[in-house]
Amino acid sequence: MISFLPNPRPVEPRLAPQYHAYLGSHPPVADEPRTQERATALLADAVQWRASDVHIEPASEQTRIRFRIDGVLHDVAEVPNFSGHRLVAYFKIQSQINATAIATPEHGHCRMAAGGTVLELRTTVAPTVNGEMIGIRLLDTQRPLLRLDDLGMKEEDQRHLRTWLEGMQGMLLVCGPVGTGKTSTLYALLHELQKEPRSIVTVEDPVECNLDGITQIEVHVKRGMTFPEAMRAMLRLDPDYLLVGEIRDSESAHVAITAAGSGQTLLSTLHARDAVGAVTTLRNYGLQLWEVAAAIELCVSQRLVRRLCTKCRSGGPPGDEAAHWYGELGLPVPEQIFSSVGCDACGGTGYQGRLGIFEVWRIDAEAREMILRGADDLQLTRHAMAQGMQPLLSDALAKASAGLTSFAEVRILAAEVRRTTGGLALRP
């Protein structure tokens, strides 16, 4: 096979210090022992940098090891294919994947101790032209839950959420695409509820975090516990609060709306492009306008941006391109915009963790009337903003002005938000 392109991505050894230290003291050899030590060092590095995934990808001669950190893949090491192959084989065995199955994609899981915590590994192996590649999703089972204060939500919006939780009625929905932190927000709300002597039942697929004092039901299709079945079980328990991991189809939408319409308090996530988009999504699941209007109380739309490393960030006057970008949106050009160059503290990435970007829509009496009359997204957005809802992009720009995130991150978010909301992102 002819390779025309050199791999353009540089390896960042600062993101895998323990693995590289191990390679230094035990260089890869054809018949290498101690694969377990190599794997453990790699996982410890992944824990240190809060990686959500580890990829081991063979090319023609070298195998690249990558971490996904804050949603972005970084190349952290490159080793000879024989060494990479041993790592793949090791993780396959640990994850109880048939070691001889190399022609088809396989899935497995296991728990491993590394970096001072216990990781749940969800492993996928796929055949490639250069050999097997492996993708490992890492869940830190001992990671502390985020609190409402930690999410990056404005105090005023946090107050709306807390007020709703105290009021105990209707439905709160956290909306956004996959991987935007919706579940973390739900767990943060559960944490608020744990303080009160109230009964809470959840239906999750899977349960990502065990919580004391809360009844958690896990979906298990093979054992007959389907999502709708689990939701019916949840309703029979008649709790004060119901949490549904995700409203994902017509059946779960109907069960959720029935619960919320009959005086129970329900929290869930929904795949909707923005806060008012929840109405459209629920209608697409076959719910009637009056059902939606009666049940929804609060819709939170959210995204994630990377948080600038405070050690290497710097502000400076915007260049022509940035000034043009602000001008196109009809916004005043800020005096300075922030970026970062990467340092030891952030492993050269320029970022440390992520930050939520939020839009919180409180459904008032007039909005309910509008939903009943079949108002479209544009009309609902105009009304919501007239009532004080700050759209996603405004929240992102405010956080960029404060130096919490970079201009580059806001541009990425803006492109996505404007695409999905048809340019409605900033002004109705």
- Residues of this chain that interact with Zn ion (CB under 5 A) are 309, 311-312, 343, 345-346
Considering the complex, state which of residue 165 and residue 346 has its C-beta at the smaller distance from Zn ion. 346
| Cβ proximity of 346 and 394 under 8 Å | no
Considering the complex, state which of residue 345 and residue 378 has its C-beta at the smaller distance from Zn ion. 345
Considering the complex, state which of residue 225 and residue 343 has its C-beta at the smaller distance from Zn ion. 343
Closest separation between CB of residue 209 and Zn ion, Å? 29
Considering the complex, state which of residue 14 and residue 362 has its C-beta at the smaller distance from Zn ion. 14
Tokens encoding 342: 């990467």
Cα–Cα nearest to 296, from 392, 378, 368: 368
Considering the complex, state which of residue 121 and residue 408 has its C-beta at the smaller distance from Zn ion. 408
Considering the complex, state which of residue 118 and residue 345 has its C-beta at the smaller distance from Zn ion. 345
Cα–Cα distance for residue pair 269/174, rounded to 1 Å: 5
Tokens encoding 31: 């018949």
Closest separation between CB of residue 69 and Zn ion, Å? 13
Hey, what amino acid is at 269? T
Closest separation between CB of residue 424 and Zn ion, Å? 35
Q: Residue 277 belongs to what H/E stretch?
A: helix 277-284
Q: Residue 342 belongs to what H/E stretch?
A: none
Considering the complex, state which of residue 316 and residue 423 has its C-beta at the smaller distance from Zn ion. 316
How far, in whole angstroms, is CA 123 from its chain's centroid? 18
Considering the complex, state which of residue 232 and residue 311 has its C-beta at the smaller distance from Zn ion. 311
Closest separation between CB of residue 18 and Zn ion, Å? 20
Closest separation between CB of residue 138 and Zn ion, Å? 23
Closest separation between CB of residue 309 and Zn ion, Å? 3
Closest separation between CB of residue 344 and Zn ion, Å? 7
Closest separation between CB of residue 347 and Zn ion, Å? 8
| Cβ proximity of 55 and 68 under 8 Å | yes
Closest separation between CB of residue 307 and Zn ion, Å? 11
Considering the complex, state which of residue 312 and residue 425 has its C-beta at the smaller distance from Zn ion. 312
Cα–Cα nearest to 299, from 370, 226, 404, 381: 381
Tokens encoding 135: 């993708």
Cα–Cα distance for residue pair 357/344, rounded to 1 Å: 27
Q: Can you tell me whether residue 42 is helix, strand or coil?
A: helix
> How distant, in Å, are the alpha carbons of 92, 162, 232 from that of 121?
11, 34, 30
Question: Nearest to Zn ion by Cβ — which residue?
Answer: 309
| Cβ proximity of 134 and 124 under 8 Å | yes
- Residue environment code for 291-328, b if the CB has 16+ CB neighbours within 10 A, otherwise e: bbbbbbbbbbbbbbbbbbbeebbeeeebeeebeebbee
| Cβ proximity of 260 and 295 under 8 Å | yes
